[in-house]
Amino acid sequence: MSSSLTKFSQFNTGGSLKAGDIVVGLRGGVNTQFFAPALPALPWQTLTIGQPLLINEGAFIVNSVPQNFLLPTTAIVGEILQIVNFSGIQFSITQAASQQIQFGSASTTVGVGGSITSTAIGDSITLICNLTNLGFVVLGAPMGNWIVT
């Protein structure tokens, strides 16, 4: 059984499409173009001992005993960190004075007493700075079970 209906859509862009653009076609509506650049590829490092994390870098944690890794004390809004537990040994991402991490509806204690802790291999998390030097928020869904204190 054939249909006499022809389905098509017209796309009127504000310019040419580029890598990272998302095009959404709405049936019976106007098509919309969103400019959504992908997150930049980060350089990655392997960390084995507790040390400050670096902004706009990824870190594979391969510690052999529990360690603390300090949030960067200098960060501007939009800068990110990505961290992966590659060893399965517990580690914590700790904070300096006045810093805080927002983790969904939970948040860490402000300052040096606050942290998030990974407990298992494969735990991963992306943090984005939302308040210059002081605030970070979990971006997207973290993998694994993190402890927020």
Query: What residues contact residue 106 under an 8 Å CB cut-off, 6+ apart?
Result: 148
Residue type, 89: I
pLDDT digits (tens, 9 = 90+) for 45-56: 999 998 899 999
* pLDDT tier for residue 25 given thresholds of 50, 70 and 90: low
Q: pLDDT value at position 8? A: 41
DSSP 7: -
How deeply is 20 buried, as exposed, middle or buried, from its count of CB atoms within 10 A (0-12, 13-18, 19+)?
exposed
> Which residues are registered as beta bridge partners of 90?
none
* Domains of the chain, start order: 44-148 (2.60.120)
Q: pLDDT value at position 9? A: 43
Nearest to 135 by CA among 98, 104, 106: 98
Average pLDDT over every residue of 64-86:
96
